[in-house]
Amino acid sequence: EDKVVQSPLSLVVHEGDTVTLNCSYEVTNFRSLLWYKQEKKAPTFLFMLTSSGIEKKSGRLSSILDKKELFSILNITATQTGDSAIYLCAVEGFILTGGGNKLTFGTGTQLKVEL
């Protein structure tokens, strides 16, 4: 069964700190790993990673994938209170029932950034 484990489960930091969120996975026929930010209700897309060792970057956020060790990290530098959210990791893999691929989500890391 496909599995995604995120750590830490929750984290409290001060503004300006740098944080690293971890995601490890076991999935059949890996296709991609995605990071989402969930504030209040709907997750919003951050990154999709398909190749090992290539960093994706968007402003203060960056992410990298290691397909050999089966994990990814999400870095946030110079954190701000607006970064407070749940960060979800999801992995796309192949499913058999009905065909096609699906996303398996981790439980997320709850990040709180304080002043």
Partner 1 sequence: EADIYQTPRYLVIGTGKKITLECSQTMGHDKMYWYQQDPGMELHLIHYSYGVNSTEKGDLSSESTVSRIRTEHFPLTLESARPSHTSQYLCASSEDSGRAVGEQYFGPGTRLTVT
Contact call for residue 42 and partner 1 (CB under 8 A): yes
Contact call for residue 8 and partner 1 (CB under 8 A): no
Contact call for residue 24 and partner 1 (CB under 8 A): no
**Closer residue to partner 1 (CB): 78 or 95:** 95
**Applying CB under 8 A, which of residues 32, 62, 75, 84 lies at the interface with partner 1?**
32
**Closer residue to partner 1 (CB): 82 or 98:** 98
Q: Which residues is 22 bridged to in the sheet?
A: 7, 73
**Closer residue to partner 1 (CB): 6 or 79:** 6
Residue by residue, DSSP assigns the chain as --EEEEE-SEEEEETT--EEEEEEEE-TT--EEEEEEESSS-EEEEEEE-STTPPEEETTEEEEEETTTTEEEEEE-S--GGG-EEEEEEEEEE--TTSSEEEEE---EEEEEE-
The count of chain residues that interact with partner 1, using the rule CB under 8 A, is 27
**Closer residue to partner 1 (CB): 71 or 94:** 94
Contact call for residue 4 and partner 1 (CB under 8 A): yes
